[in-house]
């Protein structure tokens, strides 16, 4: 007889990984799914509805009657459909999947999800912007949240991080101040989803500890090309506890198997209007098409005896640990392979917290992390209507859970038995504590001796605010540095108060780079100092001058898998070339999209039909990774005579994309007045250029073009 998961004893062995699999969460959710196909329309009380178009009235033109219980139920539910949105991370997209550990994972932690390399633990991952409301855009300059809920046999573990490894503040006490500063300004609720305004720059220019995270946000990391090409970080230092109860400090990393790449600023801005759902749409469509999204989970491991061996404090959330000092060890892989069934029920109601951990994982004394352990629970209680948010299906653990908590709003569990306290002798003493000892699987906090006075203070080891900002700047390529200069220049141009702009340029930027300060200062007509302005303690020191791993170029994909390629075509196109392009691109794992002046079937030069996937203004070049123009005299002539056709090529060139022109296709290049460079590939047929095309697109963009692309009027 199958066990009832709501009454099963918790006295089983620790780390019992035989109960669940990667489908366990999906199977649990199946019990609450509802498909209306074949069903009558009914009220929430089960009464069939005969007329869903008209409210009950006193005569056809008379007043609506209060007794219309069907209308009242429908309207009351509609009026209450929205819950408070998240204060930060309000706009998000999510997907289901699984995590599978590697052989080496078990040596670092006793957590059950790491023990068996054949075991797949279900996960739900939500990626979000931070500043904007639910109605804001995907491609704004912002940090991205990266939160993963692991439904393990031992309970839920939430790894709640970001796509940058550091944060803006060191102590959680300043978090409300930071969020108030970065949010739309309170007097006019402007700007939405952006950091380019007075209050943010006033705050960060007065808080040097924010400098490092601001620099990351001014880099191309601030707008990922696709969620699959985005790194994730746990930000804080955590602990892993192994089977011998030995504790080690760790930093968590999500490394995208597709490589790292981002949008560029002009491209991101144009996507605001052309596809404000660009990132979330890309994830949804790729998963729907079976092109699943993958990351490796890696850890940087610091032995306890090495805690103080760095030139920074590993508990400081504004600091990262360079990979050259502590390499990232891969311990597993996450695959996102299923979209949610309902956005509100799953993506909007999912409740993450860094306080959701399992045996084998524990906290450090990072003061920002310590504050988050309080804040998240408080937030979920408000957003989701009380302490029973864990009973919402997307938040339920897949393992049994029993305690003496009862009642409150939205309670769904019907607890049997008379005793709701512990210890008791009425219900056999159940539920009972798990006996102490690592072999039994109960959670026990790491035993750390603490002997200190109660103080409101900050460790001197947190006083270095600039050394890692300099390290990040020095580690960027020339192109990336140029983009950072442009970002600071643009952001500060939106700051209305001159003294704030001047403070950033003269008091903050010189401590990162004199070159950066002077370049931004020149654009704003402000003389930047010729030497750093901070004290020696604030400037800090670093044992590294550069860390190549901090550049997006460090993890270029090197192939064209997952890339979306535009094939521009019109009537008279060389249909053989189109068909061969489709085949060769799909063999490489890329997606070919035939884009035409209209959605009508295209008549090839040989009389065959070619189906168009989108129109020129429907899938603009900013949504594509590269552009190919096949031959066909009439096709190229129609595109060349079209403003949209010429603009498509100009815009792709401006955004550093690889452009291939076959046969007569080169005439579109000339008509668009686009100059030739190493990213413009000409050939009579696809075989002439395909290998060069793969190599060029494997670098993501034609970076050598960056210095001249801004001259394009597109």
Residues annotated as catalytic (active site), given as ranges: 89, 162
Cβ partners under 8 Å of residue 191, min gap 6: 184, 185, 197, 494
Both structure tokens of 681:
């590939």
Report the side by side order of strands in the sheet with 564-568.
614-615, 591-596, 564-568, 626-629, 658-662, 680-683
Question: Are 140 and 131 a contacting pair, CB within 8 Å?
Answer: yes
Q: How many Cβ atoms are within 10 Å of 79's Cβ, its own excluded? A: 8
Both structure tokens of 341:
């069934």
Q: How many Cβ atoms are within 10 Å of 502's Cβ, its own excluded? A: 18
Supply φ then ψ for residue 78, to 5 degrees: -60, -40
Both structure tokens of 54:
């008209």
- Distance between CA 520 and CA 504 in Å, rounded? 10
Strand pairing category for 155-162 and 121-129: unpaired
Q: What single string gives the DSSP state of each residue in 270-309? A: HHHHH-TTHHHHHHHHHHHTT--EEEEEEEEEEEGGGTT-
The Cα-based distances of 63 to 50, 57, 67, 265, 325 in angstroms read 20, 5, 12, 56, 76
3-state secondary structure of 462: helix
3-state secondary structure of 330: strand
Question: Are 544 and 476 a contacting pair, CB within 8 Å?
Answer: no
Determine if residue 391 is left, alpha or beta; phi over 0 gives left, psi from -120 to 50 gives alpha, anything else beta: alpha
Cα torsion 228, 657, 585, 560 to 10°: value is: -40
3-state secondary structure of 135: coil
């Amino acid at each position: 007889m199958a066990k009832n998961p709501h009454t099963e004893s918790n006295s089983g062995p620790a780390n019992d990984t035989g109960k669940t699999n990667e489908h366990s969460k999906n199977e649990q959710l199946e019990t609450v799914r509802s498909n209306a196909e074949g069903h009558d329309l009914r009220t929430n009380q089960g009464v069939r509805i005969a007329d869903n178009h008209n409210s009950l009235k006193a005569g056809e033109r008379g007043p609506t009657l209060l007794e219309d219980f069907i209308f009242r139920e429908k309207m009351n539910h509609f009026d209450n459909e929205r819950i408070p949105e998240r204060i930060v991370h309000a706009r998000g997209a999510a997907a289901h999947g699984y995590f599978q550990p590697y052989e080496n994972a078990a040596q670092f932690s006793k957590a059950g999800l790491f023990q068996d390399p054949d075991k797949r633990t279900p996960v739900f991952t939500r990626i979000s912007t931070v500043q904007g409301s639910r109605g804001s855009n995907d491609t704004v300059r912002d940090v991205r949240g990266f939160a993963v809920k692991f439904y393990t046999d031992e309970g839920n573990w939430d790894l709640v991080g970001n796509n940058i490894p550091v944060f803006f503040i060191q102590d959680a006490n300043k978090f409300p101040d930071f969020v108030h500063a970065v949010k739309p300004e309170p007097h006019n609720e402007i700007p939405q989803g952006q950091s380019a305004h007075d209050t943010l720059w006033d705050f960060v220019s007065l808080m040097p500890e924010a400098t490092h995270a601001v620099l990351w946000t001014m880099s191309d990391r601030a707008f990922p090309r696709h969620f699959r090409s985005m790194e994730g970080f746990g930000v804080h230092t955590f602990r892993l506890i192994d089977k011998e109860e030995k504790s080690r400090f760790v930093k968590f990393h999500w490394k995208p198997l597709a490589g790292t790449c981002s949008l560029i600023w002009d491209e991101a801005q144009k996507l605001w209007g052309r596809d404000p759902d660009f990132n979330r749409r890309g994830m949804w469509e790729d998963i729907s098409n079976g092109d699943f999204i993958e990351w490796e989970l890696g850890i940087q491991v610091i032995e306890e005896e090495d805690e103080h061996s760095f030139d920074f404090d590993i508990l400081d959330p504004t600091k990262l640990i360079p990979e050259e000092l502590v390499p990232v060890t891969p311990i597993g892989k996450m695959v996102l392979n299923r979209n949610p069934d309902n956005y509100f029920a799953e993506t909007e109601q999912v409740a993450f917290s860094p306080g959701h951990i399992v045996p084998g994982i524990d906290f450090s004394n990072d003061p920002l992390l310590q504050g988050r352990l309080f804040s998240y629970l408080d937030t979920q209680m408000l957003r989701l209507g009380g302490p029973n948010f864990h009973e919402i299906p997307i938040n339920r653990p897949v393992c049994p859970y029993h305690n003496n908590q009862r009642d409150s709003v939205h309670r769904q569990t019907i607890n049997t038995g008379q005793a709701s306290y512990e210890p008791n002798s009425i219900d056999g003493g159940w539920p009972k504590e798990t006996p102490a000892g690592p072999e039994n699987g109960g959670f026990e906090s790491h035993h750390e001796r603490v002997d200190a006075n109660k103080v409101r203070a900050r460790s001197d080891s947190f006083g270095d605010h600039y050394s890692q900002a300099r390290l990040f700047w020095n580690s960027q390529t020339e192109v990336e540095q140029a983009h950072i200069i442009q970002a600071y220049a643009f952001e500060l141009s939106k700051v209305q108060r001159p003294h704030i702009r001047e403070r950033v340029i003269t008091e903050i930027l010189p401590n990162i780079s004199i070159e950066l300060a002077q370049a931004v200062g020149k654009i704003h007509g402000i003389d930047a100092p010729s030497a750093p302005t901070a004290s020696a303690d604030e400037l800090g020191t670093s044992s590294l001058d550069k860390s190549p791993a901090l550049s997006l170029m460090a993890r270029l994909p090197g192939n064209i898998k997952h890339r979306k390629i535009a094939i521009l075509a019109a009537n008279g196109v060389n249909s053989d070339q189109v068909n061969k392009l489709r085949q060769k691109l799909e063999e490489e794992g890329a997606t070919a999209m035939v884009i035409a002046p209209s959605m009508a079937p295209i008549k090839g030069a040989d009389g065959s039909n070619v189906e168009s996937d989108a129109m020129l203004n429907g899938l603009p070049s900013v949504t594509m990774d590269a552009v190919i123009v096949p031959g066909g005299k009439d096709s190229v002539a129609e595109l060349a005579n079209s403003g949209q056709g010429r603009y498509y090529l100009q815009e792709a060139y401006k955004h550093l994309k690889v452009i291939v022109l076959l046969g007569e296709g080169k005439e579109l290049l000339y008509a668009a007045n686009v100059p030739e460079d190493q990213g413009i590939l000409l050939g009579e047929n696809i075989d002439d250029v395909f290998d060069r095309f793969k190599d060029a697109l494997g670098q993501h963009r034609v970076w050598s073009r960056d210095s001249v692309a801004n001259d394009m009027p597109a």
